[in-house]
Structure 1
Amino acid sequence: MAIDSIASVTTKTATNAASSSDAAAASLDYNAFLQLLIAQMQNQDPTDPMDASEQISQLATFSQVEQTIKTNTNLENLIAQSSLSNASSYIGKTITSADGKTGGVVASIEVTADGLTATTTKGSKIEIGEGITISATSTPSSS
Protein backbone atom coordinates (compact mmCIF):
# COMPACT_ATOMS: atom_id res chain seq x y z
CA MET A 1 0.00 0.00 0.00
CA ALA A 2 1.59 3.28 -1.07
CA ILE A 3 1.10 6.37 1.05
CA ASP A 4 0.20 9.32 -1.15
CA SER A 5 1.30 12.04 1.24
CA ILE A 6 1.80 12.55 4.89
CA ALA A 7 3.61 15.82 4.35
CA SER A 8 0.54 17.48 5.82
CA VAL A 9 1.50 16.01 9.21
CA THR A 10 4.69 18.05 9.06
CA THR A 11 2.73 21.15 8.26
CA LYS A 12 0.11 20.44 10.93
CA THR A 13 2.68 19.69 13.61
CA ALA A 14 4.63 22.84 12.81
CA THR A 15 1.47 24.91 12.55
CA ASN A 16 0.03 23.83 15.91
CA ALA A 17 2.47 26.06 17.77
CA ALA A 18 1.71 28.90 15.37
CA SER A 19 -2.04 28.38 15.82
CA SER A 20 -1.72 28.67 19.57
CA SER A 21 0.12 31.96 19.20
CA ASP A 22 -2.46 33.10 16.62
CA ALA A 23 -5.25 32.39 19.09
CA ALA A 24 -3.38 34.29 21.80
CA ALA A 25 -2.80 37.17 19.40
CA ALA A 26 -6.50 37.16 18.51
CA SER A 27 -7.39 37.45 22.20
CA LEU A 28 -4.99 40.35 22.58
CA ASP A 29 -6.41 41.93 19.47
CA TYR A 30 -9.93 41.38 20.78
CA ASN A 31 -9.05 43.25 23.99
CA ALA A 32 -7.38 45.97 21.93
CA PHE A 33 -10.51 46.18 19.78
CA LEU A 34 -12.69 46.66 22.85
CA GLN A 35 -10.35 49.36 24.17
CA LEU A 36 -10.43 51.06 20.79
CA LEU A 37 -14.23 50.87 20.70
CA ILE A 38 -14.47 52.41 24.19
CA ALA A 39 -12.01 55.17 23.24
CA GLN A 40 -14.01 55.81 20.07
CA MET A 41 -17.23 56.11 22.08
CA GLN A 42 -15.62 58.42 24.65
CA ASN A 43 -14.19 60.72 22.00
CA GLN A 44 -17.05 60.79 19.53
CA ASP A 45 -18.73 64.00 18.45
CA PRO A 46 -21.78 64.45 20.72
CA THR A 47 -23.66 66.16 17.89
CA ASP A 48 -23.07 63.20 15.55
CA PRO A 49 -22.76 60.04 17.69
CA MET A 50 -21.73 56.67 16.24
CA ASP A 51 -24.61 54.49 15.17
CA ALA A 52 -25.26 51.68 17.70
CA SER A 53 -25.93 49.14 14.95
CA GLU A 54 -22.50 49.94 13.47
CA GLN A 55 -20.87 49.26 16.87
CA ILE A 56 -22.70 45.94 17.21
CA SER A 57 -21.75 45.00 13.66
CA GLN A 58 -18.06 45.67 14.33
CA LEU A 59 -18.16 43.64 17.55
CA ALA A 60 -19.96 40.74 15.87
CA THR A 61 -17.48 40.66 12.97
CA PHE A 62 -14.52 40.61 15.32
CA SER A 63 -16.13 37.84 17.40
CA GLN A 64 -16.57 35.76 14.25
CA VAL A 65 -12.89 36.12 13.40
CA GLU A 66 -11.91 35.05 16.92
CA GLN A 67 -14.18 31.98 16.75
CA THR A 68 -12.80 31.04 13.33
CA ILE A 69 -9.26 31.07 14.72
CA LYS A 70 -10.31 28.84 17.63
CA THR A 71 -12.11 26.46 15.25
CA ASN A 72 -9.04 26.21 13.01
CA THR A 73 -6.83 25.46 16.02
CA ASN A 74 -9.16 22.68 17.16
CA LEU A 75 -9.38 21.25 13.64
CA GLU A 76 -5.58 21.22 13.27
CA ASN A 77 -5.26 19.39 16.61
CA LEU A 78 -7.83 16.82 15.50
CA ILE A 79 -6.01 16.24 12.20
CA ALA A 80 -2.68 15.83 14.02
CA GLN A 81 -4.19 13.29 16.42
CA SER A 82 -5.69 11.37 13.51
CA SER A 83 -2.34 11.32 11.73
CA LEU A 84 -0.62 10.01 14.86
CA SER A 85 -3.23 7.30 15.18
CA ASN A 86 -2.59 6.29 11.56
CA ALA A 87 1.16 6.34 12.19
CA SER A 88 0.84 3.76 14.95
CA SER A 89 -0.75 1.38 12.44
CA TYR A 90 2.58 1.32 10.52
CA ILE A 91 4.34 -0.60 13.31
CA GLY A 92 5.03 -4.16 12.20
CA LYS A 93 4.56 -3.33 8.50
CA THR A 94 7.28 -3.38 5.86
CA ILE A 95 8.39 0.07 4.70
CA THR A 96 10.51 1.06 1.71
CA SER A 97 11.95 4.54 1.23
CA ALA A 98 11.01 6.66 -1.77
CA ASP A 99 14.35 5.94 -3.46
CA GLY A 100 13.97 2.20 -2.79
CA LYS A 101 17.40 1.94 -1.12
CA THR A 102 16.25 1.60 2.49
CA GLY A 103 13.61 -0.70 3.86
CA GLY A 104 12.59 -3.03 6.62
CA VAL A 105 9.96 -3.79 9.22
CA VAL A 106 8.81 -0.75 11.19
CA ALA A 107 9.72 -1.04 14.87
CA SER A 108 8.74 2.48 15.95
CA ILE A 109 7.51 5.83 14.72
CA GLU A 110 9.09 9.05 15.94
CA VAL A 111 7.17 12.31 15.81
CA THR A 112 9.29 15.42 15.35
CA ALA A 113 8.73 18.97 14.17
CA ASP A 114 9.89 17.79 10.74
CA GLY A 115 7.22 15.08 10.55
CA LEU A 116 7.16 11.34 11.11
CA THR A 117 10.20 9.11 10.99
CA ALA A 118 9.98 5.32 10.98
CA THR A 119 12.72 3.26 12.57
CA THR A 120 13.08 -0.30 11.28
CA THR A 121 13.99 -3.34 13.34
CA LYS A 122 17.51 -3.10 11.87
CA GLY A 123 17.87 0.53 13.01
CA SER A 124 17.37 2.26 9.65
CA LYS A 125 15.47 5.53 9.75
CA ILE A 126 13.02 6.40 6.98
CA GLU A 127 11.21 9.71 6.81
CA ILE A 128 7.53 9.13 6.12
CA GLY A 129 6.52 11.26 3.16
CA GLU A 130 5.65 11.10 -0.48
CA GLY A 131 6.82 8.08 -2.39
CA ILE A 132 7.34 5.63 0.46
CA THR A 133 5.77 2.20 0.26
CA ILE A 134 4.18 0.43 3.21
CA SER A 135 3.02 -3.14 2.90
CA ALA A 136 1.96 -6.00 5.13
CA THR A 137 4.94 -7.88 6.49
CA SER A 138 5.19 -11.26 4.88
CA THR A 139 5.73 -14.19 7.19
CA PRO A 140 8.28 -16.79 6.14
CA SER A 141 6.53 -19.77 4.60
CA SER A 142 7.38 -23.22 5.88
CA SER A 143 8.67 -25.66 3.25
Structure 2
Amino acid sequence: MSVLPVMTQRSSAAANKASEAATSNSATSATNGSSAEDIMNNFMQLLVAQMQNQDPTNPMDNNQLTTQLAQFNTAAGVQQLNGTVNSVGMLVTSMQQMNAAEWVGRQVLVEGDTTVSTAQGGNNQFALSVDQDASDVTVTLTDDAGNAYTGKLKDVKAGVHEYTLDDLSDFEPSDPRTVSDTNFTVSYSATNPDGSTPDIVSLKKSKVDSVSFTQTGAVLQLGNDETATLANVYLIE
Protein backbone atom coordinates (compact mmCIF):
# COMPACT_ATOMS: atom_id res chain seq x y z
CA MET A 1 0.00 0.00 0.00
CA SER A 2 2.99 2.25 0.42
CA VAL A 3 4.18 1.86 -3.19
CA LEU A 4 1.69 4.24 -4.78
CA PRO A 5 2.58 7.25 -2.62
CA VAL A 6 6.29 6.75 -3.29
CA MET A 7 5.70 6.54 -7.06
CA THR A 8 3.49 9.59 -6.88
CA GLN A 9 6.18 11.51 -5.02
CA ARG A 10 8.81 10.50 -7.59
CA SER A 11 6.48 11.42 -10.45
CA SER A 12 5.73 14.75 -8.84
CA ALA A 13 9.42 15.41 -8.25
CA ALA A 14 10.25 14.52 -11.86
CA ALA A 15 7.45 16.70 -13.10
CA ASN A 16 8.67 19.62 -11.03
CA LYS A 17 12.23 19.22 -12.34
CA ALA A 18 11.00 18.96 -15.92
CA SER A 19 8.81 22.00 -15.44
CA GLU A 20 11.69 23.95 -13.89
CA ALA A 21 13.96 22.97 -16.77
CA ALA A 22 11.33 23.93 -19.31
CA THR A 23 10.78 27.23 -17.51
CA SER A 24 14.52 27.93 -17.46
CA ASN A 25 14.93 27.09 -21.14
CA SER A 26 11.91 29.15 -22.08
CA ALA A 27 13.08 32.09 -20.02
CA THR A 28 16.46 31.95 -21.74
CA SER A 29 14.80 31.78 -25.15
CA ALA A 30 12.46 34.62 -24.27
CA THR A 31 15.44 36.72 -23.26
CA ASN A 32 17.19 36.03 -26.54
CA GLY A 33 14.06 36.32 -28.68
CA SER A 34 12.55 39.73 -29.17
CA SER A 35 9.78 39.27 -31.72
CA ALA A 36 6.15 38.45 -31.02
CA GLU A 37 6.65 35.14 -32.87
CA ASP A 38 9.60 34.21 -30.62
CA ILE A 39 7.57 34.96 -27.51
CA MET A 40 4.66 32.88 -28.78
CA ASN A 41 6.89 29.88 -29.60
CA ASN A 42 8.60 30.03 -26.21
CA PHE A 43 5.29 30.27 -24.40
CA MET A 44 3.79 27.30 -26.25
CA GLN A 45 6.89 25.17 -25.59
CA LEU A 46 6.66 25.96 -21.90
CA LEU A 47 2.93 25.22 -21.82
CA VAL A 48 3.33 21.83 -23.55
CA ALA A 49 6.21 20.88 -21.21
CA GLN A 50 4.13 21.76 -18.18
CA MET A 51 1.17 19.69 -19.40
CA GLN A 52 3.35 16.69 -20.32
CA ASN A 53 5.13 16.67 -16.97
CA GLN A 54 2.29 17.68 -14.69
CA ASP A 55 1.52 15.57 -11.62
CA PRO A 56 -1.50 13.34 -12.44
CA THR A 57 -2.70 13.78 -8.86
CA ASN A 58 -2.37 17.58 -9.11
CA PRO A 59 -3.09 18.63 -12.70
CA MET A 60 -2.77 22.19 -13.96
CA ASP A 61 -5.55 24.49 -12.81
CA ASN A 62 -7.71 25.79 -15.67
CA ASN A 63 -7.88 29.21 -14.04
CA GLN A 64 -4.09 29.31 -13.89
CA LEU A 65 -3.87 28.40 -17.57
CA THR A 66 -6.40 31.10 -18.48
CA THR A 67 -4.42 33.68 -16.50
CA GLN A 68 -1.17 32.72 -18.26
CA LEU A 69 -2.82 32.96 -21.67
CA ALA A 70 -4.24 36.39 -20.81
CA GLN A 71 -0.83 37.61 -19.66
CA PHE A 72 0.78 36.32 -22.83
CA ASN A 73 -1.81 38.02 -25.04
CA THR A 74 -1.27 41.28 -23.18
CA ALA A 75 2.52 41.11 -23.55
CA ALA A 76 2.31 40.18 -27.23
CA GLY A 77 -0.27 42.91 -27.81
CA VAL A 78 1.93 45.54 -26.20
CA GLN A 79 4.89 44.44 -28.30
CA GLN A 80 2.79 44.56 -31.45
CA LEU A 81 1.58 48.05 -30.51
CA ASN A 82 5.15 49.20 -29.91
CA GLY A 83 6.12 47.88 -33.33
CA THR A 84 3.21 49.69 -34.94
CA VAL A 85 4.07 52.96 -33.18
CA ASN A 86 7.69 52.69 -34.31
CA SER A 87 6.58 52.08 -37.90
CA VAL A 88 4.24 55.06 -37.82
CA GLY A 89 7.01 57.22 -36.34
CA MET A 90 9.38 56.24 -39.14
CA LEU A 91 6.70 57.00 -41.74
CA VAL A 92 5.99 60.43 -40.25
CA THR A 93 9.72 61.25 -40.17
CA SER A 94 10.09 60.18 -43.80
CA MET A 95 7.14 62.33 -44.86
CA GLN A 96 8.53 65.33 -42.97
CA GLN A 97 11.86 64.93 -44.72
CA MET A 98 10.20 64.75 -48.12
CA ASN A 99 8.14 67.86 -47.39
CA ALA A 100 11.15 69.75 -46.05
CA ALA A 101 13.14 68.99 -49.21
CA GLU A 102 10.46 70.82 -51.21
CA TRP A 103 11.14 74.01 -49.25
CA VAL A 104 14.48 74.66 -50.96
CA GLY A 105 14.36 78.02 -52.74
CA ARG A 106 11.27 79.22 -50.86
CA GLN A 107 10.90 82.01 -48.32
CA VAL A 108 10.07 81.17 -44.72
CA LEU A 109 9.25 83.21 -41.65
CA VAL A 110 11.27 82.10 -38.63
CA GLU A 111 11.77 83.54 -35.17
CA GLY A 112 14.37 86.28 -35.10
CA ASP A 113 15.05 90.00 -34.94
CA THR A 114 14.07 92.08 -37.94
CA THR A 115 15.81 95.13 -39.38
CA VAL A 116 13.98 97.61 -41.59
CA SER A 117 15.41 100.49 -43.59
CA THR A 118 14.28 103.81 -45.00
CA ALA A 119 16.96 103.64 -47.68
CA GLN A 120 15.78 103.48 -51.27
CA GLY A 121 15.43 99.82 -52.20
CA GLY A 122 15.94 98.80 -48.58
CA ASN A 123 13.75 96.33 -46.70
CA ASN A 124 10.68 98.02 -45.21
CA GLN A 125 8.86 94.79 -44.27
CA PHE A 126 8.51 93.16 -40.86
CA ALA A 127 6.49 90.28 -39.47
CA LEU A 128 5.19 89.02 -36.15
CA SER A 129 3.16 86.23 -34.57
CA VAL A 130 0.63 86.98 -31.83
CA ASP A 131 -1.04 84.32 -29.69
CA GLN A 132 -4.30 86.23 -29.15
CA ASP A 133 -6.20 89.18 -30.58
CA ALA A 134 -4.60 92.53 -29.75
CA SER A 135 -6.49 95.81 -29.96
CA ASP A 136 -3.24 97.76 -30.28
CA VAL A 137 0.31 96.62 -30.93
CA THR A 138 3.11 99.07 -30.24
CA VAL A 139 5.98 98.75 -32.71
CA THR A 140 9.27 100.26 -31.59
CA LEU A 141 11.87 101.23 -34.21
CA THR A 142 15.36 101.83 -32.83
CA ASP A 143 18.14 103.25 -35.01
CA ASP A 144 21.86 102.58 -34.69
CA ALA A 145 22.28 105.66 -32.46
CA GLY A 146 19.72 104.35 -29.98
CA ASN A 147 16.94 106.75 -30.95
CA ALA A 148 13.55 105.06 -30.54
CA TYR A 149 10.33 105.74 -32.39
CA THR A 150 7.00 104.07 -31.77
CA GLY A 151 4.09 103.37 -34.10
CA LYS A 152 0.78 101.54 -33.77
CA LEU A 153 -0.93 98.57 -35.42
CA LYS A 154 -4.68 98.43 -34.84
CA ASP A 155 -6.88 95.36 -34.26
CA VAL A 156 -4.28 92.64 -34.84
CA LYS A 157 -5.84 89.18 -34.91
CA ALA A 158 -4.17 86.10 -33.47
CA GLY A 159 -1.80 84.48 -35.96
CA VAL A 160 1.09 85.41 -38.26
CA HIS A 161 1.13 88.81 -39.96
CA GLU A 162 3.39 90.69 -42.36
CA TYR A 163 3.50 94.48 -42.52
CA THR A 164 5.43 97.37 -44.05
CA LEU A 165 6.41 100.68 -42.47
CA ASP A 166 3.46 102.26 -44.28
CA ASP A 167 1.06 100.18 -42.15
CA LEU A 168 2.14 102.01 -38.98
CA SER A 169 0.33 105.04 -37.55
CA ASP A 170 0.43 107.41 -34.57
CA PHE A 171 4.21 107.78 -34.54
CA GLU A 172 5.97 109.21 -31.50
CA PRO A 173 7.97 111.36 -31.03
CA SER A 174 8.09 111.76 -34.81
CA ASP A 175 7.73 109.81 -38.03
CA PRO A 176 10.97 107.84 -38.56
CA ARG A 177 10.11 107.29 -42.21
CA THR A 178 11.21 110.85 -42.87
CA VAL A 179 14.74 109.98 -41.73
CA SER A 180 16.40 108.80 -44.93
CA ASP A 181 18.95 106.03 -45.27
CA THR A 182 18.50 104.76 -41.72
CA ASN A 183 18.25 101.22 -40.42
CA PHE A 184 15.99 100.29 -37.51
CA THR A 185 15.63 97.19 -35.38
CA VAL A 186 12.00 96.28 -34.67
CA SER A 187 10.43 95.20 -31.36
CA TYR A 188 6.84 94.80 -30.18
CA SER A 189 4.60 95.08 -27.14
CA ALA A 190 0.85 94.99 -26.51
CA THR A 191 -1.65 95.22 -23.67
CA ASN A 192 -5.39 94.84 -24.17
CA PRO A 193 -8.03 96.97 -22.38
CA ASP A 194 -9.03 93.93 -20.29
CA GLY A 195 -5.50 93.73 -18.91
CA SER A 196 -4.40 90.68 -20.92
CA THR A 197 -0.94 90.75 -22.46
CA PRO A 198 -0.62 89.08 -25.87
CA ASP A 199 2.59 87.15 -26.46
CA ILE A 200 4.29 88.51 -29.59
CA VAL A 201 7.12 86.77 -31.43
CA SER A 202 9.34 88.74 -33.80
CA LEU A 203 9.75 87.02 -37.16
CA LYS A 204 12.20 87.47 -39.99
CA LYS A 205 12.05 86.32 -43.57
CA SER A 206 14.77 84.05 -44.93
CA LYS A 207 15.34 81.96 -48.03
CA VAL A 208 15.90 78.21 -47.67
CA ASP A 209 19.18 77.35 -49.41
CA SER A 210 19.24 73.64 -48.54
CA VAL A 211 17.95 71.04 -46.11
CA SER A 212 19.99 68.62 -44.00
CA PHE A 213 18.67 65.66 -42.03
CA THR A 214 19.79 64.68 -38.54
CA GLN A 215 18.65 62.12 -35.99
CA THR A 216 16.43 64.79 -34.42
CA GLY A 217 14.83 65.86 -37.71
CA ALA A 218 15.26 68.16 -40.69
CA VAL A 219 17.35 71.33 -40.43
CA LEU A 220 16.86 74.22 -42.85
CA GLN A 221 20.02 75.97 -44.05
CA LEU A 222 19.19 79.66 -44.44
CA GLY A 223 21.08 82.69 -45.68
CA ASN A 224 23.90 84.26 -43.64
CA ASP A 225 24.89 80.79 -42.38
CA GLU A 226 21.78 80.56 -40.22
CA THR A 227 19.75 77.42 -39.56
CA ALA A 228 16.25 76.60 -38.35
CA THR A 229 14.32 73.46 -37.48
CA LEU A 230 10.84 72.78 -38.80
CA ALA A 231 9.42 73.71 -35.39
CA ASN A 232 10.87 77.24 -35.79
CA VAL A 233 9.03 77.90 -39.06
CA TYR A 234 5.89 80.01 -38.71
CA LEU A 235 5.05 80.48 -42.40
CA ILE A 236 6.18 79.17 -45.80
CA GLU A 237 5.73 81.34 -48.86
- 2:39: which partner in 1? 30
Give the superposed CA RMSD.
Answer: 3.6
Decide whether aligned partners of structure 1 residues 68 and 114 sit closer, same or farther in structure 2, where only a CA change above 3 A counts: closer
The residue matched to 1:80 in structure 2 has which SS? helix
Find out whether 1:134 has 2:197 as its counterpart. no
Q: Deviations over 1:100-122 (max 9, x none)?
A: 45642101111113332211254
Alignment of 1:64-75 (within 5 A): 64-75=77-88
Assess if the C-alpha contact under 8 Å between 1:41 and 1:50 holds in 2. Answer: no
2:208 corresponds to which letter in structure 1?
Answer: V
Q: Give the number of aligned pairs.
A: 112
Assess if the C-alpha contact under 8 Å between 2:209 and 2:223 holds in 1. Answer: yes
Assess if the C-alpha contact under 8 Å between 1:96 and 1:134 holds in 2. Answer: yes
Assess if the C-alpha contact under 8 Å between 1:116 and 1:128 holds in 2. Answer: yes
- 2:60: which partner in 1? 49
Decide whether aligned partners of structure 1 residues 54 and 125 sit closer, same or farther in structure 2, where only a CA change above 3 A counts: closer
Assess if the C-alpha contact under 8 Å between 1:96 and 1:133 holds in 2. Answer: yes
2:35 corresponds to which letter in structure 1?
Answer: S
* Inter-partner Cα distance in structure 2 for 1:53 and 1:25: 23
- 2:161: which partner in 1? none
Q: Which is richer in strand?
A: 2
* Inter-partner Cα distance in structure 1 for 2:205 and 2:88: 33
Decide whether aligned partners of structure 1 residues 127 and 67 sit closer, same or farther in structure 2, where only a CA change above 3 A counts: closer
Find out whether 1:84 has 2:97 as its counterpart. yes
Decide whether aligned partners of structure 1 residues 45 and 61 sit closer, same or farther in structure 2, where only a CA change above 3 A counts: farther
* Inter-partner Cα distance in structure 2 for 1:55 and 1:72: 26
Higher relative contact order (CA 8 A, sep 6+): 1
- 1:61: which partner in 2? 74
* TM-score (normalised: structure 1): 0.56
* Inter-partner Cα distance in structure 2 for 1:56 and 1:100: 61
Assess if the C-alpha contact under 8 Å between 2:110 and 2:235 holds in 1. Answer: no
Decide whether aligned partners of structure 1 residues 60 and 135 sit closer, same or farther in structure 2, where only a CA change above 3 A counts: closer
* Inter-partner Cα distance in structure 2 for 1:86 and 1:27: 33
Q: Which runs of 5+ in 1 are unaligned?
A: 1-23, 137-143
Name which one, 1 or 2, has greater alpha-carbon Rg: 2
**Runs of 4+ deviating beyond 6 Å:** none
Q: Which is richer in helix?
A: 1
Assess if the C-alpha contact under 8 Å between 1:44 and 1:50 holds in 2. Answer: no
Alignment of 1:87-106 (within 5 A): 87-101=100-114, 103-106=205-208
Bigger mean CA offset, 71-80 vs 61-70: 61-70
